[in-house]
Amino acid sequence: MSNYEPKVPSLGASLFVLFSIVAILMIGIIVLHVDLHILLILGLCVSIFVAMAQGMSFEKISTAMAGGVTRGLSAMFIFILIGVLIGSWISAGTVPALMYYGLKLISPSIFLPTAFVLCSLTSLCTGTSWGTAGTMGIAMMGMGMGLGMPPAWVAGAVVSGAVFGDKMSPISDTTVLASVTAGANLYDHVKAMLYTTVPAFIITLAIYTILGLRYSSGILATQDAQTIIKTLEGTFNVNPLVMIPFFVLLILSLMKVPATAAMFIGAIAGSLVGMFFQGLSFTQALTAMNYGYTASSGVALVDKILIRGGIQSMMWTFSLTFIALSLGGLLDEAGFLKALVSGLIVRVHSAGVLVLTVIATSTIATAAMAEVYLGIILNGTVYRSCFKEKGLKPEMLSRLTEEGSTCMGSLFPWTTMGAFISGTLGVATWDYAPYAFLNYLTPIISIIFTFLGMAILWSGTDNKLFSGKTSPVLDKNLEKQ
């Protein structure tokens, strides 16, 4: 192994790498319509070439890529569990029952705000946007199709609600991670997020209400809804008791049982309900966990909604995540992202610019490393001493990392979160992104508020003026990293 230390990458080299990756992805997706996997590999090749030019050995590059995958293993394992959960719950009749009763009770005019609120409550209670999208989200997509709503609108409402709870729930892993990384108290962090998240929630709810009132689904939607209801009645036992697995997962989450254990128990509960109420054999229940629900009802609209789930359905997302995390590990270890942040911080002259910078770099880091967790960790660590020196509370930093990473992570098709949600809901990320209003309204409101002198959390009365210079402590931390 070579003892030669790689050079610290310059701001120019870092910008070249990041802009090259973005250009490859944008051109490949929009112009060439090439699959994301090969585009990320091309971006990885560019990153390897520049890293080697900076003096990084191929052995160290390989180790960095492996480290990126290792850090994301928990997320990849959740992919598998959610695939198991979806296959189990559809076969058990849990998701069909949620759709069945929802179609009977919810009218098209209030469907979008209802979907947003239900997904918000589900994610707030469970602390997981992924689990919300894979359970309540799928049910909402089915109801939306039955009511004649545009799939992109429904997916946007699901994603907005799922991210709201993931961001605000004290049992959410991103909420805990953001507070710990920034050095903030967990509940102070949640309170700090109320400043921007509550206005964004109210505006988002108003927008979905207006869209719902303006959208008239007409006779076709009514016919589709009745077709789905009759097909579900004929295919599944829709006794309300088949929704037990949903409440099992909800209760376990409220009891703060770890997400992986809660999902696994929820999947087991689904299999037991499927065997008792739907007449599944033990073999069929296990097969549904692996291959998902596969039985055809003969009605294309219903089959499009229900034939999904299982471990195998997650392999496209799993492989994409593997490549993306490898790229993220290299970008982090080679120092490209840290160089970008340190190059930007010297230009910070006010609280407003600092907020804009943190949100922007959190978004860029999340997109570049394809992982919300990594974006939160990097920015929380790098800016922590800077916020302390400027006289800003750590919960303000933790709030900003959530606004730049948690909120924006689902809007990029190559991130773990974006790839999972798109694959689960069956709607392309670029299609639902414009309608995930809460996701981008929250950071926009945060930036506007700060420039207006609002929602700035100073620590005590010793507020430090912004001189436009970097923090000596920050510079030392960056040098160490």
Q: What is the C-alpha separation between 230 and 222, in angstroms, rounded? A: 12
Q: For 292, which DSSP code?
A: -
**Inter-residue contact 159 to 199 (CB < 8 Å):** no
Q: Where are the beta strands (DSSP E) in 97-167?
A: none
And the tokens for 471? 């923090």
Domain coordinates in residue numbering, the chain: 69-314+341-481
Q: For 334, which DSSP code?
A: T
Q: What is the C-alpha separation between 406 and 415, in angstroms, rounded? A: 11
Mean pLDDT of 219-236: 75
- Tens digits of residue pLDDT in 38-93: 888 998 999 999 999 888 888 999 998 998 788 777 767 877 887 888 889 889 99
| Chain mean position to CA 337 | 21
Q: What is the C-alpha separation between 43 and 194, in angstroms, rounded? A: 37
What CA–CA distances, in Å, run from 370 to 33, 303, 405, 443? 20, 32, 10, 19
- Tens digits of residue pLDDT in 389-431: 788 898 999 999 999 999 998 898 888 788 888 888 889 998 9
| Chain mean position to CA 32 | 26
**Inter-residue contact 323 to 331 (CB < 8 Å):** no
Mean pLDDT of 148-166: 91
Give me the phi and psi of 458, to 5 degrees please. -80, 150
